[in-house]
C-alpha cells in the first residue's frame, strides 16, 4: 500500500513539473494572456496538491500538545493555505474562460464573488473554534468537501458554457481550440467530483482504486493542459487582444446580397461571437426589444430560422470569400 501511494505521488509530481515548465515556456514565447492563465491554474492546482502532501508527510515531525482536542498550528497554517488557494484556482480558471470568450463581467458579479470568498474564509477560520470547544472538527471537514464540490461544479458549468458559446464562433481553428480546452476541463473536473461523491465506497472495494481517483484528475489535468498549450498556443496568440473582430468574422458580400444595414452588421458580429440579446443590448446601448427586432429582420432577410443557422451562413460566406 505504501509503494502504491509513493508511486502515485511521484507520477503527480512528474506530471506537474512537466506541465508547469512547458506552459511557462510556451507563455513566454507566445506572450498569450490565455496561456498564462492556464499556467497559473496548473500551478495553483499543484500547490494545493503538494501542500496536502506536505501536511500528511510532515505532520508527525510537528508534535502538538498532548491534548488531541487542541489545535495544531502547523495544521492551521497548511490547511488554511490549501483552503484559500482553492479560491485562487477557481478565479484563475474562470478568468481563463472569460478572456477566451471576451466576456465583460459586471461589478455586481465581481462583488458577489468577492463577498462569497470573504464569507467562506471567515467561516473557515471560525470553524477552528469547534476543536477546543466541542472536541471535533466536523465543520472543518465539511467545509473542505463543500468547497471542493463548489469548485468542481462551478468550473464544469463554466466549461459547458464555454463549449456552448464556442459553437457560435466562425473561426474554425479558434473554435476547435476552445472545444478541446472545455473537454479537458470538463473531463478532469468530472473525475474529481465523482471521487467526492463515491470516494468512500471505492475505498471499501480496493485501496488502489480509491487512491487512483485522487491521482487521475491531477495527472490528466497537468498532461492535457501541457498538450493543449503546445498545440494551440499559436492560435490563441494570433487572437489575443483581437476580440475576434468584425472583419475576421463577416463577409461584406453577405451584407450586399441580403441588404444588411450597418446596425444589423453589428448585431450579426456579436451573435457570431456568442453574445446573448442582453449582452448585445448593453454593448450597443440599445434595448433588448430593439435587439430582438434586429434579429427578426436579419432572419427574414437571410432566410434563416435561428442563431445557429445564421452563424453557419456567415461561415459559408467567409469560407467562400
- Over the range 56-85, which residues count as b (16 or more CB within 10 Å of their CB) and which as e? eeeeeeeeeeeeeeebbebbeebbebbbbe
Residues 178 and 272 in one domain: no
Among the residue ranges 70-79, 100-109, 201-210, the one predicted with the least confidence is 201-210
For residue 244, the model assigns a pLDDT of 45
Q: How many residues does the chain have?
A: 321
Among the residue ranges 102-106, 207-211, 234-238, 265-269, the one predicted with the least confidence is 207-211
Of the candidates 239, 273, 299, which is a domain's last residue?
A: 239
Cell triple for residue 63? Answer: 508534535
Torsion angles phi and psi, residue 8, rounded to 5: -60, -40
CATH number for the domain spanning 301: value is 1.10.10.10
The range of the structural domain enclosing residue 263 comes to 246-320
More confident residue, 177 or 99: 177
Whether the per-residue pLDDT at 65 is higher than 90: the answer is no
Residues 16 and 126 in one domain: yes
| Terminal C-alpha separation, the chain | 62
CATH number for the domain spanning 85: value is 1.20.1070
Residues 131 and 261 in one domain: no
Which 8-state DSSP code applies to residue 305?
Answer: S
Whether the per-residue pLDDT at 243 is higher than 50: the answer is no
Residues 83 and 133 in one domain: yes
For residue 321, the model assigns a pLDDT of 54
Closest by CA to 170, choosing from 303, 305, 319, 284, is: 319
- Please give the model's pTM, rounded to 2 decimal places: 0.73
Whether the per-residue pLDDT at 3 is higher than 80: the answer is no
More confident residue, 6 or 263: 263
Residues 270 and 164 in one domain: no
More confident residue, 318 or 258: 258
Of the candidates 222, 239, 256, which is a domain's last residue?
A: 239
For residue 245, the model assigns a pLDDT of 42
Number of domains forming the structure of the chain = 2
Whether the per-residue pLDDT at 230 is higher than 90: the answer is yes
Residues 215 and 233 in one domain: yes
Whether the per-residue pLDDT at 142 is higher than 60: the answer is yes
Amino acid at each position: 500500500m505504501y509503494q502504491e501511494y509513493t508511486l502515485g505521488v511521484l507520477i503527480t509530481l512528474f506530471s506537474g513539473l512537466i506541465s508547469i515548465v512547458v506552459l511557462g515556456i510556451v507563455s513566454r514565447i507566445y506572450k498569450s494572456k490565455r496561456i498564462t492563465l492556464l499556467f497559473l491554474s496548473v500551478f495553483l492546482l499543484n500547490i494545493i496538491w503538494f501542500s496536502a502532501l506536505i501536511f500528511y508527510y510532515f505532520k508527525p515531525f510537528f508534535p502538538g500538545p498532548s491534548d488531541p482536542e487542541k489545535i495544531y498550528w502547523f495544521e492551521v497554517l497548511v490547511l488554511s493555505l490549501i483552503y484559500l488557494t482553492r479560491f485562487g484556482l477557481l478565479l484563475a480558471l474562470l478568468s481563463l474562460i472569460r478572456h477566451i470568450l471576451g466576456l465583460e463581467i459586471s461589478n455586481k458579479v465581481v462583488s458577489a464573488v468577492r463577498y462569497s470568498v470573504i464569507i467562506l474564509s471567515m467561516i473557515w477560520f471560525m470553524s477552528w473554534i469547534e476543536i477546543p470547544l466541542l472536541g471535533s472538527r466536523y465543520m472543518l471537514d465539511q467545509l473542505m468537501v463543500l468547497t471542493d464540490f463548489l469548485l468542481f461544479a462551478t468550473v464544469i458549468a463554466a466549461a459547458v458554457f464555454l463549449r456552448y458559446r464556442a459553437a457560435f464562433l466562425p473561426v474554425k481553428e479558434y473554435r476547435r481550440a476552445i472545444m478541446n480546452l472545455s473537454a479537458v476541463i470538463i473531463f478532469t473536473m468530472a473525475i474529481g467530483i465523482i471521487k467526492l461523491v463515491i470516494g468512500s465506497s471505492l475505498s471499501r472495494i480496493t485501496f488502489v482504486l480509491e487512491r487512483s481517483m485522487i491521482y487521475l484528475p491531477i495527472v490528466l489535468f497537468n498532461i492535457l493542459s501541457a498538450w493543449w498549450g503546445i498545440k494551440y498556443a499559436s492560435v490563441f496568440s494570433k487572437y489575443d487582444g483581437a476580440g475576434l473582430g468584425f472583419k475576421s468574422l463577416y463577409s461584406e458580400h453577405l451584407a450586399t446580397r441580403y441588404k444588411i444595414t450597418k446596425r444589423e452588421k453589428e448585431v450579426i458580429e456579436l451573435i457570431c461571437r456568442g453574445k446573448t440579446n442582453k449582452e448585445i443590448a448593453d454593448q450597443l446601448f440599445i434595448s433588448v426589444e430593439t435587439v430582438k427586432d434586429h434579429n427578426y429582420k436579419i432572419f427574414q432577410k437571410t432566410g434563416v430560422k435561428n442563431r445557429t443557422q445564421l452563424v453557419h451562413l456567415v461561415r459559408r460566406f467567409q469560407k467562400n470569400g
